[in-house]
Amino acid sequence: MDDKPILLITGDTPKGPRELFGRLDELGVRHSTMTHDPVFTVEEAQRLRGRIEGAHSKNLFVRDKKERHWLVSCLADRTLDLKWLAAELGTKRLTFCSARRLGGYLGIGRGSVSPFAVLNDVTGTVQVALDADLLAAEPLNFHPLVNSKTTTVSRAGLLRFLTAEGHRPHVIRFPAG
């Protein structure tokens, strides 16, 4: 296990939950957070579903050969086909980003991917794609830059945050799982 601290590609220390909560407060986004054991997969997170009301998500950080990066969030029960997703995003092929890229571009470790991670996108190049059905749900739950907490926000609050961070999402309809 690599215990080196995560650094952004600029060499800066990434922002964490405290800074995220401050930004949400600054934007007037109501939020609540529950602390829990770290979870790394959708399957592990399922045990929280009875304790945390609202929609739960599956989140990916992917890239194409042209070095374009996407943070993708959909309902947790969706099946993700990378070939289908690539076509929806207008590219030929997608691959999962390495832990190094995850840290460098989003300032987070594995298991912590969520739309909130754009707070650390110092390059301004990460594109966000959200599931239309996820955005139809209320409230929404995501990890706040760590996988040992889950933060609940409204759909409007998430969109306000993403827009304020310069990451208006590309909305697509994922096939039902």
Amino acid at 80: L
The CATH number given to whatever domain includes residue 32 is: 3.90.960.10
Burial class for 20, CB neighbours closer than 10 Å (0-12, 13-18, 19+): buried
In a domain, 41, yes or no: yes
Q: pLDDT tens digits for 92-118? A: 999 999 999 999 999 999 999 999 999
Residue whose C-alpha is closest to residue 54's, from 131, 133, 147, 153: 153
Structural domain total, the chain: 1
Q: Which of 35-64 are b and which e, b meaning 16 or more Cβ less than 10 Å from the residue's Cβ?
A: eeeebeeeeebeeeeeebebbbbbbbbbbb
pTM assigned to the model: 0.94
Q: What is the pLDDT of residues 70-87, one digit of tens each?
A: 999 999 999 889 999 999
The answer to whether residue 4 sits within a structural domain is: no
pLDDT tens digits, one per residue of 19-62? 999 999 999 999 999 999 887 777 777 776 667 889 999 999 99
* Distance from C-alpha of 143 to C-alpha of 113, rounded to nearest angstrom: 7
Is 122 part of a structural domain of the chain? Answer: yes
- Burial category of 5 from C-beta neighbours within 10 Å (exposed 0-12, middle 13-18, buried 19 and up): exposed
- Is residue 1's pLDDT more than 60? no
Q: Would you say residue 2 lies in a domain? A: no
pLDDT of 3: 64
Asked if residue 163 is part of any domain, the answer here is yes
- Domain interval for residue 147: 17-172
Residue 146 pLDDT grade (very low, low, confident, very high; cuts 50, 70, 90): very high
Does residue 34 sit within a domain? yes
Q: What is the mean pLDDT of the chain?
A: 94
48 lies in a domain?
Answer: yes
Give CA–CA dist 118/126, Å, rounded. Answer: 7
In terms of C-beta density within 10 A (0-12 exposed, 13-18 middle, 19 or more buried), how is residue 16 classed? middle
Q: Does residue 39 lie within any of the structural domains?
A: yes
